[in-house]
Structure 1
Amino acid sequence: MRMFARILALLLLFTTLGASASLLSQQGVPARYMQTTEDADIWAQVGNQVVSVGNVRAGQILAVVPTAADYYEFNFGFATGFIDKGHLEPVQGKQRVEDSLGDLHKSLSNQNLMTWKDTPVYDAPAVGSAPFGTLASNLRYPIISKLKDRLNQTWFQIRIGNRLAWVSSLDAQEDNGIPILTYHHILRDEENTRFRHTSTTTSVRAFSNQMTWLRDQGYTTLSMYQLEGYLRNKVNLPARSVVITFDDGLKSVNRYAYPILKQYGFHATAFIISSRIKRHPQKWAPKSLQFMSISELKQIQDVFDVQSHTHFLHRVDADRHPILLSRSYHNILFDFEHSRRALAQFNPHVQYLSYPFGGYNATAVQAANDAGFIWR
């Protein structure tokens, strides 16, 4: 526990300073192979937390980087792993890391495996091969490649501490991506007389039940920054991860969604139509579409990250097509830049854009890039 506390303190320091979660590149010290003297627990940053991520069996070889503290660092997925120095010693005898095919230097396959239980990891892709260790439950871990053994069983090749290892597909599954739950409007059943048959309106009861289910299943809510990190292969994330977003910036988000999300410790992203932000809060009127005020947006910032849903471009033309599709590059660029400036009072780092009605073209993509959005 003392080692865990030291690791956590170090990660909190780097997070506070805005540094990368990967500490190895900051050391300037080359890695060296060492051998475990006993079964050793390993830790790593997953999402925003430092957690136990499994163990390595006695006698295994890892490439580690020494630190001034009581632990070594090693490569673990897309971040840094930690292991107690007391569990390692110089490699004994003529043992070495096997890599006859050069797989250690292969690029990752842009695919992960997911663990739903404590998952055995092996030295070779064969039933009965020597155990390397264990990956903990609820992890996403990058795959180098896949192969089938003589029994037609699929094995995932992975890399831990510059060591090749294998996980059976019987013990883990391939990552099919992170679900994104998108909402707009929330109302109580008894007050919803106008939007009852509108697909973008969710009842308070249904939303509460959905969030309760996510909480009970152990899901972690991600920010758009974490989602981007996942898509760019830069962060380790839990298997049970979900992104929650609300488009438009309606007052019902503050009134109903915010307290439910806060109750469960969840976070979400609000994509705001910046031209519709009200100067002062409006009296609640469930029969109309009302938008949040400046003060209401500031109130929800401990739960919601504010991003852009354009400024004036959330409209359709006479043929019900998004007007963004018919606007010039300069018109779109002006709107996107205006939206980022208007939202800066809530978030000085507005980097993400949700296209109205899901409509975009090459002109819109270029304008979004030039306006400073890094992910569309």
Structure 2
Amino acid sequence: MFIRLIFSVLLLFVGSSANASLLSSNHTPAQYMQTTEDADIWAQVGDKVVSVGTIQEGQILAVAPMAADYYEFNFGFGTGFIDKTHLEPVAGKQRVEDRLGDLNKPLSNQNLVTFRDVTVYNAPSSGSAPFGTLSDNLRYPIIASLKDHLNQTWYQIRIGNRLGYVSSLDAQPDNGIPVLTYHHILRDEENTRFRHTSTTTSVVAFSNQMTWLRDTGYTTLTMYQLEGYVRNRMNLPARAVVITFDDGLKSVYRYAYPILKEYGFKATSFIISSRIKAHPQTWNPKTLQFMSISELQASQDVFDIQSHTHFLHRVDANRQPTLLRRTYRNILLDFEHSRRALAQFNPHVLYLSYPFGGYNDKAVQAANDAGFHMAVTTVRGKVKPGDNPFLLKRLYILRTDSLETMSRMISNQTK
């Protein structure tokens, strides 16, 4: 029953800032309750409400009074849920005293990540009483890192207005979310022209890469969720990846789309809006063909349509992106034109991919002024909280890269 109720609240939180300190709201004063038994806790992680750990019997937690069969409490950047049957009022005016840190201290712009269930302690010592656990596959914001008398690092976190401590032996520092970049997808037997082009991936390689992501438990994120991560507004899983495609090529609709759809994956398609075709083209693997209006519409159950500019996807005589030679106003007008042209597919065109990865100060300013929230580059690396939202890094997985290479590249062990 409780699980059904929890899932019924999901729509109240998806895509919102429900994570903004519900217990400090004037409308919902905090109430301290004590657990009568070990209690499961739930929270929204990405677009799902999932089990995120436990609170040990006898622990005091600040919760928000609710008319439902559960209480809400602060959990990371969002809201946690706990069944009311596991709690009772704290006797008298007793409340928890956390003397080892400041509950109101701002977060450190860093997370820990869990790859198994980990113990949360009441003090930075494995000899202290456990407060509860955090489940496998979580990113969780850190207040601070500190050392114990053995020089062991501990992560200080906050759950339900309580301070908790996780050993660095149990969890890892968050090294960022990989944003994967693809362009052209072709079968090996038909790839006679683009075989040595680094931006062309074979169907077999792409299928194997997506199968590996599925089998290892990765969640594919939207750019909206990535923005929540960059701006510290959303809880996300540890095993997470963003899949992006630049240009809007027909081959992506023909080959990548059915694979992604089969696996239930989401991806972002950065479209050159001036190259959208009125009608589908007859397939020809020897040329670069672009998706039509109907193909873009048909693939929107997988692809989120975003901008790759309108007329600026060109190079000059020196093979440099023409964007770098344009005035601020010219760039701004193109960005705005692209957003308007793509509005027929998506009223929320908020993200930009710079053509050929080329950008300068004028382009960054124009992207912001045109109404984009973030922009991606071709600079190699992962995306981390607090990064400049208009200079986000990405990763290329080449057709010749083994699955072991891919695993190392997107692993949290690699920065």
The two structures have a TM-score, normalised by structure 1, of 0.96
Letter aligned with residue 351 of structure 2: Y
Q: How far, CA to CA, are the matches of 2:276 and 2:65 in structure 1?
A: 52
Per-residue CA deviation, residues 322-345 of structure 1 (Å, 9 max, x unaligned), is: 111110011111111110111011
Partner SS state of residue 353, structure 1: strand
Quick check: 93-102 or 38-47, which moved more? 93-102
Residue 109 (structure 1) aligns with: 108
Per-residue CA deviation, residues 336-358 of structure 1 (Å, 9 max, x unaligned), is: 11101110111011000000111
Residue 37 (structure 2) aligns with: 38
- Residues 19-168 of structure 1 correspond to what in structure 2 (within 5 A)? 19-22=16-19, 24=22, 28-92=27-91, 96-100=95-99, 102-168=101-167
- 8 A Cα contact 1:11 1:21, kept in partner: no
Letter aligned with residue 131 of structure 1: P
Q: How far, CA to CA, are the matches of 2:31 and 2:107 in structure 1?
A: 22
Letter aligned with residue 282 of structure 2: K
Per-residue CA deviation, residues 118-176 of structure 1 (Å, 9 max, x unaligned), is: 11110010122111111010000000000111222110000000000000011110100
Q: How far, CA to CA, are the matches of 1:115 and 1:102 in structure 2?
A: 23
Q: How far, CA to CA, are the matches of 1:94 and 1:14 in structure 2?
A: 32
- Residues 186-197 of structure 1 correspond to what in structure 2 (within 5 A)? 186-197=185-196
RMSD, aligned CA = 1.5
| C-alpha spacing 1:152/1:13, structure 2 compared with 1 (3 Å) | closer
Q: How far, CA to CA, are the matches of 1:126 and 1:14 in structure 2?
A: 35
Aligned residues: 373
Letter aligned with residue 254 of structure 1: Y
Letter aligned with residue 135 of structure 2: A
- Moved runs in structure 1, 4+ residues, more than 4 A? none
Partner SS state of residue 341, structure 2: helix
- 8 A Cα contact 2:101 2:163, kept in partner: no
Q: How far, CA to CA, are the matches of 1:236 and 1:72 in structure 2?
A: 19
Partner SS state of residue 373, structure 2: coil
The two structures have a TM-score, normalised by structure 2, of 0.87
Residue 360 (structure 1) aligns with: 359
- 8 A Cα contact 1:21 1:45, kept in partner: no
- 8 A Cα contact 1:182 1:245, kept in partner: yes
Residue 296 (structure 2) aligns with: 297
- Residues 266-281 of structure 1 correspond to what in structure 2 (within 5 A)? 266-281=265-280
Residue 397 (structure 2) aligns with: none
| C-alpha spacing 1:13/1:154, structure 2 compared with 1 (3 Å) | closer
Q: How far, CA to CA, are the matches of 2:10 and 2:116 in structure 1?
A: 26
Unaligned runs of 5+ in 1: none
Quick check: 290-299 or 24-33, which moved more? 24-33
Q: How far, CA to CA, are the matches of 1:5 and 1:21 in structure 2?
A: 20
Offset at 1:213?
0.3
Per-residue CA deviation, residues 189-246 of structure 1 (Å, 9 max, x unaligned), is: 0000100010000000000000000000000000000000011110000000000000
| C-alpha spacing 1:177/1:19, structure 2 compared with 1 (3 Å) | closer
- 8 A Cα contact 2:17 2:233, kept in partner: no
Q: How far, CA to CA, are the matches of 2:124 and 2:240 in structure 1?
A: 28
Residue 260 (structure 2) aligns with: 261
Partner SS state of residue 301, structure 1: coil
Residue 200 (structure 1) aligns with: 199
Letter aligned with residue 19 of structure 2: S
Per-residue CA deviation, residues 31-77 of structure 1 (Å, 9 max, x unaligned), is: 12111111110000001100000000011111100111011100000
Higher relative contact order (CA 8 A, sep 6+): 2
- 8 A Cα contact 2:121 2:129, kept in partner: yes
Q: How far, CA to CA, are the matches of 1:170 and 1:98 in structure 2?
A: 26
